[in-house]
Amino acid sequence: MSQLDVARLNDKMADIRESLEALREYARWDEGRFLASKEAIRAARYCFIVMVEAATAIATHICARLLRKAPGSYAESFALLAEGGIIEPALARRLGRMAGFRNLLVHGYNKVDDRRMWQIMGSDLADLDAYLEAIAALVAGARGETE
């Protein structure tokens, strides 16, 4: 596992944690307040993009370095991690859907349901926590640490 760039993985995990923190802060807002704030909506969209891109950067790095595979899409990068036993298959599917949401944000802002985004912020971010736990365990193993 020494072929992992642990510093890069830690940087990307920090990006995810920072985005999660901001999204969870917005999730504590009343739905009406959030939906009325164009600035909060823009910030949340940006956090989702950063978070998913960091998660996929981690996944593609691990796919290349450990699994010796090149995913054809963001969603496939998570599927390959599941095939490699790094994350659970159900988590890989949910992260793949989150990657699809990122694509919608990047390529079709006018189709984003901001109410749905607010709901995701309040209920579906635990998947990123589970992902971070799995990656942290992998990094700890790469460093020769024990849990």
The per-residue pLDDT for range 77-122, each reduced to its tens digit, is: 999 999 999 999 999 999 998 988 888 888 876 678 899 899 889 8
Structure token pair of residue 56:
């996929």
118 within a domain of the structure (yes/no): yes
1 within a domain of the structure (yes/no): no
The CA-atom distances, in angstroms, between 66 and each of 5, 16, 82, 95, 110 are 11, 21, 13, 20, 38
Q: Say how many domains are in the chain.
A: 1
For residues 99 and 127, is the Cβ–Cβ distance under 8 A?
A: no
Overall pTM surpassing 0.85 (yes/no): yes
Q: Domain range holding 61?
A: 6-141
CATH number at residue 132: 1.20.120.580
Reply yes or no on whether the pLDDT at 20 is more than 60: yes
Cα–Cα dist 138/6, whole Å: 10
Residue 1: per-residue pLDDT: 45
Average pLDDT of the segment spanning 62-87: 95
For residues 20 and 12, is the Cβ–Cβ distance under 8 A?
A: no
37 within a domain of the structure (yes/no): yes
Residue 102: per-residue pLDDT: 86
Reply yes or no on whether the pLDDT at 18 is more than 60: yes
The per-residue pLDDT for range 26-41, each reduced to its tens digit, is: 999 999 999 999 999 9
Reply yes or no on whether the pLDDT at 65 is more than 50: yes
119 within a domain of the structure (yes/no): yes
